Amino acid sequence: MTKIDFDQYAGQYEALIAAQTSFFDRDNDYFVRYKVERAKELTGEADAVLDFGCGIGRAMPYFRSAFPNADVVGCDPSADSLTIARRDNPDCRFFPMDELAATPHFDLVLASCVFHHIAPAERQDALRYAYDRLKPGGHFVIFEHNPFNPVTQRLVSTCPFDADAVLLRMSETVRRMREAKFEISETGYCLFFPSQLAGLRPMEKYLSWLPLGGQYFVSGVKA
């Protein structure tokens, strides 16, 4: 399997995401906004937050809105993506993965649909990366595609930058986080209803046990 080079897609990432997700919601920022807001519900206030695998920085305005006084930081292995992120978000800080110091600085680390791009043999190292940069009591929140959802399976199979994707079940994410010494605080499935059924979205919190949502989340705490 060829590893995806996200530098190749940095300039067209926004358009590709819009094309992939427009059937669910024409506002393609709905997904990033939802996840940042959900992460804040799970973790509370924060003085410093890290978007792990931030890409071109699409989530940064929503981090800034949710945590207006926080140090908002992104890290990513794609240099071209970070160039765009810095240009569009001058009030945030960005680092290549290997240049972000392994010091316990952050109250929240969010990884949104990142781990399916990480080879299974490297996933524990990625979890350790997040663990080392969290303060004690800090939260690591992972959102991932739900491999039980047939629509999600179809989207991943047709997305050009998901060619290297190896989807994780929630059970794998929970197990790996526990092995990395995180205490699991909450899990759930999410993103059940497209925009045509937006009136039903408040019901999602009652359906989080049902493994039919397009994605799921796992929230862990550094003891």
**What tokens appear for 73 in the block?**
């930081």
Band (pLDDT 50/70/90 cuts) for residue 28 is confident
**Mean pLDDT in residue range 133-152:** 96
84 neighbors 56 (Cβ within 8 angstroms) = yes
CA 102 to CA 76: how far, in whole Å?
15
The greatest distance separating any two alpha carbons of the chain, rounded to the nearest whole angstrom, comes to: 44
Band (pLDDT 50/70/90 cuts) for residue 135 is very high
Band (pLDDT 50/70/90 cuts) for residue 9 is low
DSSP-derived 3-state class of residue 6? helix
pLDDT tens for 51-77 read 999 999 999 999 999 999 999 999 999
CA 55 to CA 75: how far, in whole Å?
8
CA 207 to CA 189: how far, in whole Å?
7
**What tokens appear for 94 in the block?**
């960005």
CA 39 to CA 143: how far, in whole Å?
10
Alpha helices by DSSP H, 12-122 = 13-21, 30-43, 60-66, 79-88
For position 1, what pLDDT does the model report?
42
Instruction: Give the chain's domains with CATH numbers.
Output: 6-222 (3.40.50.150)
Mean of the per-residue pLDDT values for the chain?
A: 91
CA 152 to CA 173: how far, in whole Å?
17
For position 158, what pLDDT does the model report?
80
Band (pLDDT 50/70/90 cuts) for residue 105 is very high
pLDDT tens for 152-180 read 888 888 886 687 889 999 999 999 999 99
